[in-house]
Structure 1
């Protein structure tokens, strides 16, 4: 059985479980939480930006356009590209609707 960690969103107090081998965004989606907007799910669009307040995690590749090195040092990461290594306290940072409208992306299923 995969090891799981408790992820708590600081402002709402909502929490959910996330397996060690699962990214935070996927765990949120499986539990029906709409904490952040969702775009490409691959680290390229920057929609699902969160801040990790406390805890350890491992990062996958993220667009340097959306997550600058100094942001990464402050714990600002993309939920689709981080994997918990301990329980985490996060802060969701949804983007204003106007910003999302200007950055619309389209995803297509590959056949």
Structure 2
């Protein structure tokens, strides 16, 4: 099975990704973090990245989080892309509203 190199311009990390393996899964297996992780099925939009260079195959993704125009510009969900060549990626931050919703509050019990 083919193996491809993925270079993350945001963090400066590079890692290998097997053919047929999602970029997110390859990142997680190496303990690398670049994007928040949600459903891992293309529905929540948390693991959005931009592919700057290279070719990839897309699995099914929510059109709300990865519309066709965004995919054409390389904005995809890391959980649902599979490299066909070496890739250069950038991590995209969550929109402010989503990151606020993901914060948790802790209160002390007396």
After superposing the two structures, state which structure 1 stretch, 47-56 or 10-19, moved more: 10-19
- Paired residue total: 103
Name the TM-score, length of structure 2 as normaliser: 0.87
Equivalent residue, structure 2, for 1:45 = 44
Which is worse superposed, 8-17 or 55-64? 8-17
User: How far, CA to CA, are the matches of 2:96 and 2:15 in structure 1?
Assistant: 26
4+ aligned runs moved over 4 Å, structure 1: none
CA distance in 1, matches of 2:95, 2:36: 10
Gaps of 5+ in 2: 104-110
Structure 1 stretches lacking a partner, 5+ long: 105-111
Report the CA distance between 1:94 and its aligned residue.
2.8
Which residue is 2:106 aligned to?
none
Matched residue SS, 1:8: strand
Q: 1:46, CA displacement in angstroms?
A: 0.2
Greater Rg over alpha carbons, structure: 2
SS in 2 for 1:72: helix
TM-align CA RMSD: 1.6
Distance in structure 2 (CA, Å) of the matches to 1:31 and 1:91: 17
Offset, 1:12: 2.4
Distance 2:40 2:53 in 1: 23
- 2:22 aligns with 23
Matched residues in 1 for 2:24 and 2:93: separation?
Answer: 13
